[in-house]
DNA sequence: GCGACAG
DNA sequence: ATCTTGTCGC
């Protein structure tokens, strides 16, 4: 496998264009008993990243365990190339899972990306697993502000009108989240699954719990490895 | 040239 | 992303 730490942005762009052909946006008809959330945490100015994947039971959304891994990363954060910075560590956390989830929710975008290769799509293709991107801010596309009530959403499209995802009001009166399919699932399915992952907070449980876990890991409250709850 | 810009 | 206290609205 290619070492992302030694890549230049132009080289990374070529890789995204190649991986793009492998992304499959299609309805997900498999089982849905487990979902997982992936996220990264790090100390400002440090090259050490703390990656984590939390497994949850679906539809109860009760966490059943988490995989935590620490890794050195040299690739900088560049808008549009987040995957090259976070995917390596997430792959380690993924490999450490005793059982894989049916669908993985990644903190970041899926196909709502300049080259349709956001981190959720990138990770989904490399692992050949259904994935959904859930981002807190827009990276690419245009949209109309959704209604202020929880549950309302509007399409996120490119300038030609092609839909890439949805802008979802996950909680009344708070900023919406951006949902887009990563791999092996479509836009309606991604939106439906994410809506079922909302439990009173702005962020869906998978990534919300993953975010909490990696932060506790970074601050030495919990340790590396796989832990069953 | 100017504005936008996931985490 | 991370660093932070108080403050506003439901």
Q: Is the CB of A119 under 7 A from strand B?
A: yes
Binding-site entries of A: 39, 107
Q: Is beta strand A48-57 parallel, antiparallel or unpaired with respect to A163-168?
A: unpaired
For the segment A187-211, the average pLDDT, to the nearest whole number, is 98
- pLDDT above 90: residue A47: yes
pLDDT for res A125: 98
Is the minimum distance from the CB of A41 to strand C below 7 Å? Answer: yes
pLDDT digit string, tens, across residues A154-192: 999 999 999 999 999 999 999 999 999 999 999 999 999
Å: A103 CA to C5 C1': 39
The whole-chain average pLDDT of chain A stands at 98
Q: What pLDDT does A152 receive?
A: 97
- What is the assigned CATH class of domain A4-228? alpha beta
Query: CA-to-C1' distance for A138 and B5, Å?
Result: 9
* Strand partners for A180: A133
pLDDT at A138 over 90: yes
Return d(Cα A80, Cα A140) in angstroms, integer: 9
Nucleotide of closest approach to A211 (CA, C1') = C1
CB atoms within 10 A of CB A40: 26
- Check if residue A87 sits with its Cβ under 7 angstroms from strand B: no
Closest-lying nucleotide for A77 based on CA to C1'? B7
Round and report the angstrom distance from CA (A197) to C1' (C6). Answer: 32
Q: Where are the alpha helices (DSSP H) in chain A?
A: 9-19, 82-95, 119-127, 187-196, 205-218
What percentage of chain A carries pLDDT values higher than 70? 100
What span, in angstroms and rounded, lies between the C-alpha atoms of A138 and A63?
28
Checking if the pLDDT of A1 tops 90, the result is no
Tens of pLDDT along A63-82? 999 999 999 999 999 999 99
Cα–Cα distances (Å) from A80 to A31, A53, A137, A150, A152, in that order, read: 32, 22, 13, 29, 27
Nearest CA-CA partner of A204 in A94, A54, A70:
A54
Positive or negative, the CA dihedral A148, A150, A155, A157 is positive
Cβ of residue A159 lies below 7 Å from strand B: no
pLDDT > 90: what percent of chain A? 100
**How many residues appear in chain A?**
229
Tell me: the pLDDT tens digits for A82-133?
999 999 999 999 999 999 999 999 999 999 999 999 999 999 999 999 999 9
Tokens of A81: 């190339």
Measured CA to CA in angstroms, residue A121 lies from A10, A84, A106, A152, A160 at distances of 19, 12, 9, 25, 21
Domain boundaries, chain A: 4-228
């Amino acid at each position: 496998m290619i070492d992302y730490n030694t890549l230049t942005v132009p080289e990374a762009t070529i890789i995204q264009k190649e991986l793009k052909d492998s992304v499959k946006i299609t309805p997900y008809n498999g089982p849905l008993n487990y979902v997982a959330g992936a996220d990264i945490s790090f100390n400002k100015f440090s090259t050490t990243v703390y990656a984590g994947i939390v497994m949850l039971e679906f539809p109860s959304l009760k966490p059943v365990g988490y995989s935590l891994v620490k890794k050195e990363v040299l690739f900088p954060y560049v808008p549009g190339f987040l995957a090259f910075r976070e995917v390596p560590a997430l792959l380690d956390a993924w490999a450490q899972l005793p059982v894989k989830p049916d669908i993985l929710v990644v903190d970041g975008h899926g196909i709502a990306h300049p080259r349709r290769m956001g981190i959720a799509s990138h990770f989904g293709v490399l692992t050949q697993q259904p994935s959904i991107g859930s981002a807190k801010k827009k990276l690419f596309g245009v949209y109309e502000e959704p209604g202020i009530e929880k549950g309302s959403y509007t399409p996120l499209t490119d300038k030609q009108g092609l839909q890439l995802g949805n802008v979802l009001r996950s909680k009344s009166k708070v900023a919406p989240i951006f949902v887009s399919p990563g791999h092996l699932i479509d836009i309606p399915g991604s939106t439906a699954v994410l809506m079922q992952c909302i439990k009173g907070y702005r962020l869906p449980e998978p990534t919300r719990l993953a975010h909490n876990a990696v932060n506790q890991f970074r601050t030495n409250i919990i340790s590396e490895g796989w832990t069953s709850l």
